[in-house]
Amino acid sequence: MPNFHRVVITGIGAVTPIGNNIDEYLLGLQTGANGVSDITLFNPEQHPCKFAAEVKNLQSENFIEAKESKRWDRFSQFGVIAAKQAFNDSGLEITEANESRIGVIIGSGVGGLLTMESQAQILSHKGPKRVSPFTVPMMIPNMATGLAAIALGAKGPSSAVSTACAAGSNAIGDSFRLLQLGKADAMICGGAEASITPLGVAGFASAKALSFRNDSPQTASRPFDAERDGFVIGEGSGILVLETLESAKKRGAKIYAEIIGYGSTCDAHHITSPSPGGTGGAAAIKLAIDDSSINTAQVDYINAHGTSTAANDKNETSAIKSIFKDRSYLIPVSSTKSMTGHLLGGSGGIEAVACILSLTHNFVPPTINYVNPDPDCDLDYVPNNARDAQIRVALSNSFGFGGHNVCLAFSKLD
């Protein structure tokens, strides 16, 4: 049997609709902040959904030169900014001696949708000669990874994951595996997304996936509530620095938590709907628990995928019950998407950060907008207000179109 390395988190970064750095994001989670408002990134007048969870007041010039930012899609900007935050937080230094041992994996469900749309319009109205030479590198979904690696000088294992709304969590899990196996000493990983565009909003609206609560946008994201009617699209990025315990201890790094388990499955059922009873999600949860060598009695908090759609929330509740049985009712289960909206491929990144903040600050973030209990969703969803709690082990669920399911397990370091 291989001698697996233990893996810890030494840096975190976040760009979200409720805060553009870790301190702001932590405060937002603790106070039940609401990041949803009317769309400002384009004119939504003709759209049936006119609201989203946008990143606001981001000072990108503090991280990216203005000339460079014009050549980067919005999702890449979010990813690089969060990566730089996490890297600076970690205290890592990249040198010629270690550059090949530090890698980057950043997931994105959609990639550079804004670039694709805008350049398609230029092609249609002005012809092919007017299309930007930066079109392809701006829109391909691996470019957040590439640009972060360039910015930091990381020459180790590098890839991009595109498993829809599970992408950020898959990126973290895949990085965890590389470190366990000794293929790297540190990995910069997470997710980034920026799909609040005319096509993105119209596409999800046509699929009946979005909430249409235009008269009350701030109450639209209501996971597990009986009157939920769809998700609220969000944007941003969450990035972790994962490091082998040996590496972190050798350089005297501060350690937030340990990542102890990773489960990944596929429903093989439907392009958008989860498998009945949440069987695929349940399998991912079981794999993460088995991988971590803990038992179900040790789980103190579950950060749910919790999209605020009818099918997801019901099936995720069933998945949790199938694994934890009667103890399901004793475990706090909250959806931070009630505050941030759904970041698609970026959601796993910011929700992993939320779990780490829960572990380090001993609290459970709330599910805001929870008013009307649903008989099919009858767990403890931490309604409306954060809760002080001693959290030792936390799980983060991410489920994506195509049937992709991921569960990550985090714990305080022994």
Give the position of tokens 């008269």.
Answer: 215
- Nearest to residue 300, comparing CAs of 405, 189, 387, 238? 387
- Over residues 366-414, the pLDDT tens digits come to 999 999 999 999 999 999 999 999 999 999 999 999 999 999 999 999 8
Q: What confidence score (pLDDT) does residue 60 get?
A: 86
Give the amino acid at 232. Answer: V
Is the Cβ–Cβ distance between 238 and 352 less than 8 Å? yes
- Over residues 116-137, the pLDDT tens digits come to 999 999 999 999 999 999 999 9
- Nearest to residue 82, comparing CAs of 14, 19, 31, 133? 14
- Over residues 233-288, the pLDDT tens digits come to 999 999 999 999 999 999 999 999 999 999 999 999 999 999 999 999 999 999 99
Mean pLDDT for the chain?
A: 97
Decide: helix, strand or coil at residue 212. Answer: coil
Q: Rounded distance, CA 248 to CA 254, Å?
A: 8
- Given a cut of 60, is residue 106 above it in pLDDT? yes
Tell me the CATH number of domain 7-250, given options 3.30.413.10, 3.40.47.10, 3.40.50.1220, 3.40.50.620: 3.40.47.10
- Over residues 179-225, the pLDDT tens digits come to 999 999 999 999 999 999 999 999 999 999 999 999 999 999 999 99
- Over residues 147-162, the pLDDT tens digits come to 999 999 999 999 999 9
Quote the Cα angle for 195-50-354, to 5°: 50
Q: What confidence score (pLDDT) does residue 280 get?
A: 97
Superfamily of domain 261-411: Thiolase/Chalcone synthase (3.40.47.10)
Mean pLDDT (whole number) for 326-354 = 98
Helix 347-361 vs helix 167-180: angle between axes, to the nearest 10 degrees?
Answer: 60
Which residues, at least 6 apart from 26, have a Cβ–Cβ distance to it below 8 Å? 19, 357, 361
Decide: helix, strand or coil at residue 189. Answer: strand
Q: What confidence score (pLDDT) does residue 1 get?
A: 39
Q: Rounded distance, CA 307 to CA 62, Å?
A: 32
- Over residues 29-86, the pLDDT tens digits come to 999 999 999 999 999 999 999 999 999 999 888 889 888 888 999 999 999 999 999 9
Catalytic residues: 165, 305, 342
Q: What confidence score (pLDDT) does residue 62 get?
A: 84
- Over residues 207-220, the pLDDT tens digits come to 999 999 999 999 99
CATH 3.40.47.10 maps onto the chain at: 7-250, 261-411
- Given a cut of 80, is residue 2 above it in pLDDT? no
Measured CA distances, 370 to 62, 300, 334, 382 (Å): 37, 21, 10, 9
